[in-house]
């Protein structure tokens, strides 16, 4: 795959709420979209609870394997926000009160409101670089290739928007989807033959079920736009041969 | 935590589409809900691409740690459906055409329609027990503590509904949420004190941001209903003290 030379990334979602019934995660999908637009290939994601050993084990596994790791969650002011401590331990760094982070909190809150809980949000591994939080001030931080961001989706997105300029971008990944009301099985064999002819492209088949009807989206992705379009033409022809009008996008 | 004695589980989501921009996963949340209702504690989730070595490494890490592993995705008929082969290799088992799975496909499809691609869906590790698919026939399968299910949400849910009777259930996990338009920081310190008083309960704080307004949901979970209700009363009092009317559910 030509995409192998693109920078890679993993997402580490930290929080009991994602593993309980409370919260449907949406951060993974929005990070995937942003990274894809930058040519950074998201290779893996993990969801771990607010348990220090679990966070450390996952973070160390991921940060040594991928160009970037993006974490979400656990950097607020409450007792269950233990991401900063866990990241510090994963890197073997002391955790300190970051002076710049404290200064930002002091500039935002009145002295009466800057309680011990709020000051927790300035605790970071020594040497961390701040990640701006234009929504609610309390910053995220970066240590080496690990970007530690908030879990609240709009804050996470604002933080991510702020760090992308500093990331290595890869070759743009082009993607074409050809979709229609055809059961996946009907096109599976010929699709396999097409995929075998394009070893440098990522060709996938995604069955869907809507309003009682089966369909399939065939998706081709790759960094070579000419090849992607050529393969997409073949996927379109394969679907059209089933007697339907495929949607191409 | 009393919940430590409950059965545990992990979810392994298999599929490039979840890591690309295409698909927002919804299976994790629906599995979490189902397991929670059974007293099975979901401890971890991973998302890996359709790459055999990645699937094997994740599966082996998870199946040795948790009571159950539930996988979703990659058991269809197309070239990128490699979950069955990967699971067989993870267990060191030969992959065979499962006779009962083949019989079910033969009963459903006309001979002309039962092509090689469809027959791929009968390939499973030797010794696999079938998981019924009341939606579209092609079964999932179980090997030891690993339940291999489809990725299409309504099929996954039907498969999961069919296997829960065979799972060890844990003590029911009770959960109460107390929510209101109060910034998390305002209650963080007292919340920490309450949480410290209930070491057998899982007490979390989840900030939210809706229609330009910050709020917090305080959530207590545990297997001792009396303790959960008692702690929930304290969380309610803490929120009410901020001058709002908390919602309790």
Q: What is the CATH number of the domain that holds B142?
A: 3.40.980.10
pLDDT at B17: 84
Same domain, B190 and B242: yes
Same domain, B181 and B152: no
Segments in chain A forming alpha helices (H):
16-19, 27-37, 52-63, 83-91, 99-108, 116-119, 153-163, 184-197, 225-240
- The two tokens of residue B78 are 């197309």
Measured between CA atoms, the residue of chain A closest to residue B206 is: A17
Q: Which positions ≥6 away from A226 have C-beta within 8 Å? A: none
Q: What is the mean pLDDT of chain B?
A: 93
User: What average pLDDT does this structure show over B147-158?
Assistant: 95
User: What average pLDDT does this structure show over B152-165?
Assistant: 95
Q: Which positions ≥6 away from B81 have C-beta within 8 Å? A: A205, B50, B74, B75, B120
Measure B92 CA to nearest chain A CA, in Å: 24
pLDDT at B247: 94
Pick from A135, A25, A125: nearest CA to A72: A25
Task: Provide, as residue numbers in chain B, all residues whose Cβ is less than 8 Å from the Cβ of A220.
Answer: none
The most confident of the ranges A26-30, B58-62, B109-113 is: B58-62
Same domain, A81 and A120: yes
User: What average pLDDT does this structure show over B172-184?
Assistant: 92
* Residue A16's pLDDT band (cuts 50, 70, 90): confident
Q: Does B103 touch chain A (CB under 8 A)?
A: no
Same domain, B48 and B137: yes
Last residue of a domain, one of B139, B166, B193: B166
Please check whether residue A80 is in contact with residue B203, taking contact to mean a CB–CB distance below 8 angstroms: yes
Same domain, B44 and B157: yes
Q: Does B166 touch chain A (CB under 8 A)?
A: no
CB–CB contact A21 B33 (8 Å): yes
Same domain, A109 and A223: no
- The two tokens of residue A63 are 């940060």
Instruction: Say whether B223 sits in a helix, a strand or coil.
Output: coil
pLDDT at A3: 43
Instruction: Find residues 114-153 of chain A whose CB sits inside 8 Å of chain B.
Output: 115-118, 120, 135-136, 152
Reported as a single tens digit per residue, the pLDDT across B28-50 is 999 999 998 899 999 999 999 99
Selecting from B22, B47, B214 the residue whose C-beta is nearest the C-beta of A44 gives B47
Same domain, B160 and B178: no
End-to-end CA distance of chain A: 22
Q: Does B185 touch chain A (CB under 8 A)?
A: yes
* Measured distance CA(B66)–CA(B63) in Å, rounded: 6
Between A35-39, A87-91, A224-228, B16-20, the lowest mean confidence (pLDDT) is in: B16-20
pLDDT at A228: 97
Which residue has 């090997």 as its token pair? B143
Same domain, B183 and B220: yes
Q: At what angle do helices A83-91 and A52-63 cross, to 10 degrees?
A: 50
Count how many domains chain A has.
2
Same domain, B200 and B145: no
pLDDT at B3: 43
ipTM reported for the complex, 2 dp: 0.89
CATH of the domain at B225: 3.30.70.260
Burial A3-31 (b: 16+ CB within 10 A, else e): beebbbbbbbbbbbbbbbbbbebebbbbb
DSSP A21-56: SS----HHHHHHHHHHHTT-EEEEEEEE-S-HHHHH
Measured between CA atoms, the residue of chain B closest to residue A211 is: B154
pLDDT at A108: 93
* Residue A2's pLDDT band (cuts 50, 70, 90): very low
Selecting from B113, B154, B209 the residue whose C-beta is nearest the C-beta of A152 gives B209
Q: Which of A38, A77, A116, A186 to mutate to test the interface with B (most CBs of B within 10 A)?
A: A77
Same domain, B229 and B116: no
B69 pLDDT exceeds 50?
yes
Reported as a single tens digit per residue, the pLDDT across B3-22 is 457 899 999 999 988 888 67
Residue count (chain A) = 249
Q: Does B188 touch chain A (CB under 8 A)?
A: yes
* Residue B2's pLDDT band (cuts 50, 70, 90): very low
Last residue of a domain, one of A134, A166, A198: A166
User: What average pLDDT does this structure show over A51-69?
Assistant: 97
Tell me which residue range forms the domain holding B98: 2-166
pLDDT at A1: 42
User: What average pLDDT does this structure show over A239-249?
Assistant: 94
Reported as a single tens digit per residue, the pLDDT across B81-108 is 999 999 999 999 999 999 999 999 999 9
Which residue has 């369909």 as its token pair? A215
Last residue of a domain, one of A133, A166, A199: A166
Task: Provide, as residue numbers in chain B, all residues whose Cβ is less than 8 Å from the Cβ of A205.
Answer: 76, 78-81
Q: Does B1 touch chain A (CB under 8 A)?
A: no
Q: Which positions ≥6 away from A92 have C-beta within 8 Å? A: none
B208 pLDDT exceeds 90?
no
Please check whether residue A43 is in contact with residue A100, taking contact to mean a CB–CB distance below 8 angstroms: no
CB–CB contact B189 A28 (8 Å): no
Same domain, B104 and B225: no
The most confident of the ranges A78-82, A158-162, B184-188 is: A158-162
* Residue B159's pLDDT band (cuts 50, 70, 90): very high
Same domain, A81 and A158: yes
Reported as a single tens digit per residue, the pLDDT across A134-149 is 998 999 999 999 999 9
CB pairs < 8 Å spanning A and B: 187
Neighbours of A61 (CB within 10 A): 17
For chain A, count helices (H), then strands (E).
9, 12
């Amino acid at each position: 795959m030509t995409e192998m030379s693109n920078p890679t990334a993993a997402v580490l979602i930290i929080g009991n709420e994602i593993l309980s019934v409370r919260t449907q995660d949406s951060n993974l999908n929005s990070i995937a979209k942003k990274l894809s637009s930058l040519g950074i290939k998201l290779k893996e994601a993990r969801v771990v609870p607010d348990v220090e050993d679990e966070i450390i084990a996952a973070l160390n596994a991921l940060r040594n394997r991928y160009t970037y790791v993006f974490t979400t969650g656990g950097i607020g002011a409450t007792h269950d926000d233990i991401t900063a401590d866990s990241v510090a331990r994963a890197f073997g760094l002391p955790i300190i009160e970051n002076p710049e982070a404290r200064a930002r909190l002091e500039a935002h809150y009145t002295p009466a409101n800057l309680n011990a809980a709020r000051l927790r949000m300035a605790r970071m591994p020594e040497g961390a670089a701040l990640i701006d939080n234009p929504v609610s001030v309390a910053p995220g931080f970066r240590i080496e290739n690990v970007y530690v961001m908030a879990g609240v989706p709009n804050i996470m997105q604002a933080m991510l928007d702020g760090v992308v300029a500093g990331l290595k971008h890869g070759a743009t990944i082009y993607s074409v989807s050809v979709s229609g009301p055809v059961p996946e099985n009907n096109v599976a064999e010929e699709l396999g033959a097409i995929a075998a002819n394009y070893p440098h492209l990522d060709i996938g088949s995604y069955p869907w079920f809507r309003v009682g009807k089966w369909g399939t989206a065939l998706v081709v992705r790759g960094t070579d736009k000419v090849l992607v379009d050529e393969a997409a033409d073949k996927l379109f022809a394969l679907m059209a041969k089933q007697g339907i009008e495929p949607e191409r996008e």
